[in-house]
Structure 1
C-alpha cells in the first residue's frame, strides 16, 4: 500500500478537481482508494456525483465502490448535507477507523490511497502526514497565479515534514479565446514554473475552460483534455514506492534512546551556559522574569524530559526550580525540532511557527517568543552535542 496527498494552502484553487482526476487515472493502473480527507468541507462526492449511503456498524464501514478498481470515502456520504466541525483528534480517528475497519472492494494492501486534504496547513495536516508516514510517496501541490506566496508556504511546509513534491499544478492559469486563440491572464501571469524547477517537480498549467465545467457537471465521466497531465502524474505515482526502514534508521532509534537517557542533563547544562553566554539583563528590562517556565521535550509523542526554571529579576540569571506549585509558561518541543535547530536547518522561531515548539501561558505565546527561542537555540545545541556523529546524521 502507498499513498499520495493532494494539497493547497489556499482554498478554491481546484485541489479537489485534481484529486478526483488523479484518483480516476490511477484506478486505470492499480487498485485505488480516493479519500476525501477534507472532512468538514467535503465536496469530492459532489464532483464525482456519488450519492449512495455508507453503511456504518460497530464492526465495519462499507466503502463505496464507484468504478472498477476505484473505491471512495467521504464524510459527505454520511453527513448528507449537514454541517460538520470536528476537533483534530476526532478528524484523524475517523480516517484511521476507515482504513482499519473499512470493507473495501479493492485489495487495500495493493492499493494507492489518494487523500484530498483540507486547504491550509494546520495540525490536521501534521497528523495526516504522521498517519501515512510508512506509505506516503509524495504530494501534488495545487495553486493559481495570484497565490504564489501560498504555494511557497505549502512547499516549505511539506519540506519541513520530509514530504517530496511530485508536481505543482497552477490552475486558472489563463483563458484562451476560442475565436482568435489569444491567451488572457486574468489572474496575472503564471508564477510557479521556476518554483517547480527549484524543487525538481513536474509543472503544469490548467486554463479556465468550459470543458472542465461540463466534465464536472457529468461527474468526471471523462477527464477533459485540459487535464491531460494527470495521466503523467498517475504514471509516476504508480512507479513510486514508500521508503523502507533502513539500517541507518534502526541505528537512529538506538541513538534516540541514548539521547533520551541523557537529555535532562543536557538541558541543565544548557541553562547553566545561558547564564554565562547571554545578556539576560536585557530580558529583565523588557519585563520578563519572576514567572516559572516549564520546558518539556518529547519524542514520538512521549515526554522524555521536563524541567522548570525562572529568570531571577534581581540577579538577572536563570535559576532552576526543583519544585513548582504553579507554572506560568509551559513550552514543549520535539527532539526532531531540537536536532533541526542545532543543524541550522531551521530556527527556533521556524519550529514555533510550524508547531514543533508550542508555548502555553497567558501572554506567553507571542510576548515571550524572542526570549524563549533564544533559550531553545542554546538547549538545542547542547542536546545535539550529546549525539554521536552518526546519530547526528540520522536524526
Structure 2
C-alpha cells in the first residue's frame, strides 16, 4: 500500500458511523477509494436509509480527504439501499415486503402505538418505503394517529385484496378501517390471529423496505401465534422506566427469543419529565431501568423519549411529532431511534436461523 493510499484510508477511518457503531471500513461500506492526478474518489454504500444524512457525511469525508497533501479535490458518493432480512426461513415471504419489524410491549399504556407510528414516519423521512400494520385488534389507534377520518375504508381488488391506505407518505392497514369506533371486537384469540394474518397477507403492499407491525400489548397466545406464523425479521420492545413495566418488557424479550426473532433493542418511553415552567428535569417513573435490561439481555437501548405533553397532543390530533415537525427536538429523537434500529437490522446475519423446540416449562 502506498503512503498516499494509507493516508486516504486513515482519513476515511476518522469518520465513525454513530448508527453502525464502527468506521466505514469495518462496516464494509467502502466500495472504492482511489486517487489519481490529485483527485480522490470515494464510493460508499450503506444498507440503512440514509437520504437525510448522506449530504452531511459526503461533505465531512470530502473535507477530510482534501486535507491530505497531494489531494486537490475529492469526489465522494454515498448510495444506500435496504436489504431483505428474514428470521423464519420456513415461512413464505410476504409479497413486496423486504423486512417486517414487530414493535411490542409486555403491557399496555407504555406508548407502543405512538412509538410505532413515529418510527414508521421517521424511516420514511430518511427515504425508505414504509408500511404500518395496526395489529392491535381490540384497540386500533394507528389510523387516528395518522389523521385518517373515521369511516376511512381501503379499496379492494378482485374482492380479495386490500389496497393499503396512504397516510402521511406511508402505507397503512388497520382493523379500524374495516369496522366503526362503535363496534367492539368481542373475539377469541384464534379469531384475532386469523384476522391479523389476513390483514397482513391480503394487503397489496407496494414494494416496502419495512413493514412495522404495531403488536397488541402483552405476551399471550395472539402475540406468540403472530410471531410464529408471520416472517418477522426482528423486533423492538417498548417500555417505561417503571419496575412493573420493565418486568413485562423482559417477558416480551423472552417471547421473541423463544421463537428466534432477534430483538434489535429497547425504546424507553416517559424516561424523564421536564417542567414546562421551570425546566426542572425529573425521572418520575424511575431511572436507567431499560439500560440495565438491555445489558442483561445483550441488546441495546435504541433511545429514550421524554414524558411530553407535545407528543400526546400531536398524536391525539393526528399529527405525530415526526410528521408535524421532523426537525423538532422530539422528532429528531424518534428519527435517531429509527436509524439506529434500521442500522442494527442491516447488521443481522443473513444465515438461516435453526429451529428450536418450544416447551411449556
Whether the TM-score (by the shorter chain) exceeds 0.5 is: yes
Aligned counterpart for 1:215 among listed residues 314, 339, 358: 314
The within-5 A match list for 1:119-130 is: 119-130=217-228
Are the aligned partners of 2:164 and 2:172 in contact in 1 as well (CA < 8 Å)? Answer: yes
Q: Distance in 1 between matches of 2:274 and 2:342?
A: 32
Q: Distance in 2 between matches of 1:100 and 1:163?
A: 19
Pair 1:63-2:164 in alignment: yes
* Pairwise CA distance, 1:118: 0.5
* Pairwise CA distance, 1:40: 1.6
* Pairwise CA distance, 1:190: 4.1
* Pairwise CA distance, 1:12: 0.6
CA, structure 1 residues 97+19, in 2 after alignment: closer, same or farther (shift >3 Å)? same
Structure 1 or 2: larger helix share?
A: 1
Q: Distance in 1 between matches of 2:299 and 2:351?
A: 24
CA, structure 1 residues 185+232, in 2 after alignment: closer, same or farther (shift >3 Å)? closer
Q: Distance in 1 between matches of 2:303 and 2:341?
A: 16
Deviations 1:210-231 (A, max 9, x none): 2212321242132552253332
Output the TM-score relative to the length of structure 2.
0.62
Pair 1:49-2:147 in alignment: yes
The within-5 A match list for 1:1-395 is: 1-28=98-125, 29-51=127-149, 52-56=152-156, 58-68=159-169, 70-81=170-181, 82-104=183-205, 106-107=206-207, 110-133=208-231, 136-146=232-242, 147-198=245-296, 199-216=298-315, 217-220=317-320, 221-222=323-324, 223=326, 225-239=329-343, 240=345, 244=350, 246=352, 336-337=357-358, 351-352=359-360
Q: Distance in 2 between matches of 1:218 and 1:121?
A: 28
* Pairwise CA distance, 1:53: 1.4
Deviations 1:212-266 (A, max 9, x none): 12321242132552253332333244443576564x96xx8xxxxxxxxxxxxxx
Q: Secondary structure at the match of 2:194?
A: helix
Q: Secondary structure at the match of 2:178?
A: helix
CA, structure 1 residues 3+86, in 2 after alignment: closer, same or farther (shift >3 Å)? same
* Pairwise CA distance, 1:77: 1.2
Are the aligned partners of 1:19 and 1:116 in contact in 2 as well (CA < 8 Å)? Answer: yes
CA, structure 1 residues 18+211, in 2 after alignment: closer, same or farther (shift >3 Å)? same
CA, structure 1 residues 184+233, in 2 after alignment: closer, same or farther (shift >3 Å)? closer
CA, structure 1 residues 194+65, in 2 after alignment: closer, same or farther (shift >3 Å)? same
Are the aligned partners of 2:164 and 2:173 in contact in 1 as well (CA < 8 Å)? Answer: yes
* Pairwise CA distance, 1:103: 3.3
Larger Rg: 1
Output the TM-score relative to the length of structure 1.
0.57
Are the aligned partners of 2:153 and 2:178 in contact in 1 as well (CA < 8 Å)? Answer: yes
Aligned to 1:329: none
Q: Secondary structure at the match of 1:121?
A: coil
Q: Distance in 2 between matches of 1:91 and 1:17?
A: 22
Are the aligned partners of 2:165 and 2:171 in contact in 1 as well (CA < 8 Å)? Answer: yes
CA, structure 1 residues 137+227, in 2 after alignment: closer, same or farther (shift >3 Å)? farther
Q: Distance in 1 between matches of 2:259 and 2:200?
A: 22
Are the aligned partners of 2:164 and 2:171 in contact in 1 as well (CA < 8 Å)? Answer: yes
Runs of 4+ in 1 over 4 A off after TM superposition: 241-246
Are the aligned partners of 2:131 and 2:211 in contact in 1 as well (CA < 8 Å)? Answer: yes
Q: Secondary structure at the match of 1:111?
A: strand
The number of aligned residues is 249
Uncovered stretches (5+) of structure 1, i.e. residues with no partner: 253-334, 338-350, 354-395
* Pairwise CA distance, 1:36: 0.2
Moved more, 202-211 or 42-51: 202-211
* Pairwise CA distance, 1:172: 1.5
After superposition, the CA RMSD in angstroms is 2.5
Q: Secondary structure at the match of 1:17?
A: helix
Aligned to 2:72: none
CA, structure 1 residues 244+170, in 2 after alignment: closer, same or farther (shift >3 Å)? closer
